[in-house]
Structure 1
Amino acid sequence: MRILIAPDKFKGTLTGAEAAAAMAEGALRVYPDAVVTTLPIADGGEGTVEAAVAAGYTERLNAVVGPIIKPVGAVWAFHEGSKVAVIETAQASGYLLSEPTVENSLRAHSYGCGQLIAAAMDAGATEIIIGLGGSAMSDGGTGALRALGLKLVDAQGNLVPLGGGSLVDVAAIDATGLDPRLAGVKLRMAVDVDNPLYGPDGAAHVFGPQKGADPDAVELLDAGLRNLASVVREATGVDIDQPGAGAAGGFPSTFTAYAGASVERGFDLVADLIDLDAHLDDADLVLTGEGSLDVQSLSGKGPLGVADAAHARGLPVVVVAGRITVTPEQLARHGVVSAVSATDVAGSPEAALANAARYTTLATSEALNGI
């Protein structure tokens, strides 16, 4: 029996690697002679770097400017052979690195992400994958591009301050100082949403409140992103308001215009990064899961993306999650033959959260005994 264990993180309790280890222990209790392979996954947001490291990339650490100026240590990953680097907006400019206040929602920026891109190019990267998610800012990626030499000026020719709250003052963009190495690097933006840059479904309105923005701040941020798109369109002829452009505070938007970045479905990009297909070809049974398996999971990202790929090969799929709020019938459409939550095994959400690894292991054994 060859078992592939490919979970996403159990947000707030277990990393993808920790979840995989707990599930592996549960699987070996039922199938002690099985050959178990663990392969943490991600949907393009937080956990993308971890998935790369688990797949053989080297972990690196750089000190960068955080979303509210203070320096932070940001982890990224690099593969010396392929010259592919993997970074995350959450590492350098994440919402956990700042307080979610109204002031910070306007001031937060992505400058540190640009520093990580520069570090990756310094290391010789020819391809950079940027996992978008968990961000503190709504600056349309302008902070990162400013770290790479882009200048944003107001009507008087003065540099505008960092942060999404200043984007309404941008009158012109000077790209003459942009790092020329960007022209030789393939930038791939991993997104798990299709929100546009601005408007009712845009970055500010949908994600701004999570970052501390009140209604007035949301309107200011949205107006700034709308103004940014207008200035960029006039300067480059590129319409940066595309599906997915609203991810991570609009991060991919200006990169599509000034660095030729592509915006790609996060799960597909990560699946390629960790060579998921090859691992599925070598498996007899697949286990996957995440912290909360709910209706959003049914879109095919993360664990059910794994399930769909396994199901297409005729492989049975077992799901273990912190909690499960979808029906067995819904899961069966993705090839899932058994699904158990840690919450059900523990008896309560509080107990499951307090000892997530133990109950994930027990839930895995129960799920496998049920097939």
Structure 2
Amino acid sequence: MPRVLVAPDKFKGSLTAPEVADAVARGLTAVRPGVAVTCLPVADGGDGTLAAALAAGFESVPVTATGPTGEPVRTAYARSGDVAVVEMADVSGLVRLPGGRHQPLTATSRGTGEVVAAAVTGGARRVVLGIGGSATTDGGAGMLQALGAVLLDADGAPIGPGGGALERLARVDVSGVAAALRGAEVVVACDVDNPLTGPSGAAAVYGPQKGAGPDDVAFLDGCLVRLADAVADATGRDLRDEPGAGAAGGVGFAALAVLGAELRPGIDLLLDLLDFDRHVAGADLVVVGEGSLDEQSLRGKAPVGVARLARAAGVPSVVAVCGRRALDDAALRDAGIDAAHALTDLEPDTGRCMAEAGPLLERLASRIAGERL
């Protein structure tokens, strides 16, 4: 019987990646009961990264940490041996904003640092940090404070939370960070190449998505300049212009400049972590997927990353499922995808597609089984 690997990302706002995979598997086996289906939900470093690690067999370790607006939130990291996976979105992300109200000047990344610290204390020697979906533009200052850095104003007092507080920053002491990390390696899943500051920086490009108006953007950019200057004085290295420094409101910068982290494309890092090569070996068909298959998908998103590695492994056929499709056949072929099936092919009402995504996915998967298996 054929072997199928089902390796989708989430359908945002509708189904998690494990739920997508389960629905596809049900649809395939309904038509081909004897087919061997392996489910490997994936993520690219944003929300859903933790769920993908847990679905692959990692253990969930609960943590209570500081949310983006200072309130405690219940989150977790995923652990397998001495490797830990931390998802910034689940502790310092937009989904953690009370009532969904943006706080562009005061949102803090402290909780992300607290979860990293908990993972290291728990024995992690390698921390994989997914930083997509953040609510913050604090340059990673909160994360650094949680990991032992001291950020002081001109009077020698610690500054408060958020990017706006960096206006008062005069000096940074990073001497405590090494002790907090205990020699652990930090690897960051990062899919953008923005610098920290300037017209392509964290505040200018991503600040508006986090509620920053034009005046806020200019103010926050100046605050991030102060942080970069202070960190350069403390470390002797100026990494504000490094590709990816502007990721997650500047958490990429803090990770590079102070944690000594490596930044890697999110889907590549996660597929390595999930042992994708072992799962894909011998597969006759790989099913990829995400909520919207569009131009953004071509920029390192999960379906294209999975398709690329599946093709490299010699898989004969790669098919995508999605909520909506905005790519033509030529673009799909160039991305290594033979065909794409959208929920909107079955149900033009996008509201019903969201509400009934599971059953519709099963129908799409049954169609795929009839065509491909």
Scaled by the length of structure 2, what TM-score is found?
0.95
Letter in structure 1 aligned against 2:257: A
Name the Cα RMSD after superposition: 1.5
TM-superposed CA distance for 1:179, in Å, is 5.2
User: Residues 157-306 of structure 1: matches in 2 within 5 Å?
Assistant: 157-178=156-177, 180-241=179-240, 242-306=242-306
1:124 alignment partner AA: G
Task: Summarize the alignment of residues 342-357 of structure 1 with structure 2, pairs less than 5 Å apart.
Answer: 342-357=343-358
Match of 1:312 in 2: 312
- Asked whether the equivalents of residues 14 and 356 of structure 1 are also in contact (C-alpha less than 8 Å), the reply is yes
Q: Does 1:53 align with 2:42?
A: no
Kept in 2: contact 1:100–1:212 (CA 8 A)? no
Cα pair 1:110 1:137 within 8 Å, conserved: yes
1:293 offset after TM fit, Å?
0.5
Paired residues of 2:188 and 2:263 also in contact (CA < 8 A): yes
Structure 1 distance, partners of 2:137, 2:180, is 26
- Once the two structures are superposed, residues 184-224 of structure 1 have per-residue CA deviations (whole angstroms, 9 ceiling, x without a partner) of 10001111222211112211111111111111111111111
Task: Please name the residue that 2:329 is paired with.
Answer: 328
* 1:352/1:359 contact within 8 Å kept: yes
Q: Any conservation in 2 of the 1:343–1:351 contact (CA below 8 Å)?
A: no
The one-letter code of the counterpart of 1:11 is K
Partner amino acid, structure 2, of 1:309: L
> Which amino acid counterpart does residue 295 of structure 1 have in structure 2?
E
1:44 Cα deviation after fit: 1.4
Letter in 1 for 2:243: P
Matches within 5 A, 1:69-218: 69-79=70-80, 81=81, 83-98=82-97, 101=101, 104-178=103-177, 180-218=179-217
What per-residue deviation string (whole Å, max 9, x for no partner) do you get for residues 141-167 of structure 1? Answer: 110110121111122222111111111
Letter in 2 for 1:221: L
| 8 Å contact kept, 1:138–1:163 | yes
Q: Give the distance between the partners of 2:348 and 2:91, measured in 1 at CA.
A: 37
Instruction: State the alpha-carbon separation in 2 of the partners of residues 215 and 106 from structure 1.
Output: 13
* 1:100 Cα deviation from its structure 2 partner: 5.6
CA distance in 1, matches of 2:59, 2:100: 32
TM superposition shift of 1:49: 1.1
1:242-273, Cα deviation, whole Å (9 max, x unpaired): 11111111112122222211111111110100
Distance 1:162 1:270 in 2: 30
How many Å separate the matches in 1 of 2:255 and 2:338? 42
Distance 1:294 1:160 in 2: 42
- Distance in 2 separating the partners of 1:300 and 1:370: 28
Task: State the distance in 2 between where 1:347 and 1:257 align.
Answer: 48
Which amino acid in the other structure matches residue 340 of structure 1? H
Question: Contact 2:196 / 2:246 at 8 angstroms: preserved in 1?
Answer: yes
After TM superposition, give the deviation of residue 86 of structure 1 in Å: 0.4
Identical-residue share of aligned pairs (%)? 46
What is the one-letter code of the residue matched to 1:364?
A
* Cα pair 2:304 2:336 within 8 Å, conserved: no
**Distance in 1 separating the partners of 2:84 and 2:334:** 35
Distance in 2, matches of 1:369 and 1:207, equals 43
Instruction: Look up the match of 1:16.
Output: 17
Q: CA deviation at 1:183?
A: 4.8
SS state of the match for residue 268, structure 1?
A: helix
Report the Cα offset of residue 181 of structure 1: 4.0
TM-score by length of 1: 0.95
Matches of 1:298 and 1:364, distance apart in 2: 23
Contact 2:297 2:303 in 1 (8 A): yes
Count matched residues. Answer: 368
One-letter identity of the residue aligned with 2:130: G
CA deviation vs aligned residue, 1:45-104 (integer Å, no higher than 9, x gap): 11111111111100121111111111100121011x3x00001111111112225656x2
Q: Which amino acid aligns with 2:288?
A: T
SS in 1 for 2:61: strand
Tell me, in whole angstroms, the C-alpha distance in 1 between the residues paired with 2:320 and 2:258. Answer: 42
**Alignment partners' CA distance in 2, 1:200 and 1:369:** 50
Q: CA offsets per residue over residues 297-352 of structure 1, 9 Å max, x none?
A: 11243011111111223321011001110001111123322211011112221221
Which sections of structure 2, spanning at least 5 residues, go unmatched? none
Whichever residue aligns with residue 67 of structure 2, its letter is G
Question: Is contact 1:86–1:129 with CA below 8 Å preserved after alignment?
Answer: yes
The residue that corresponds to 2:28 in the other structure is 27
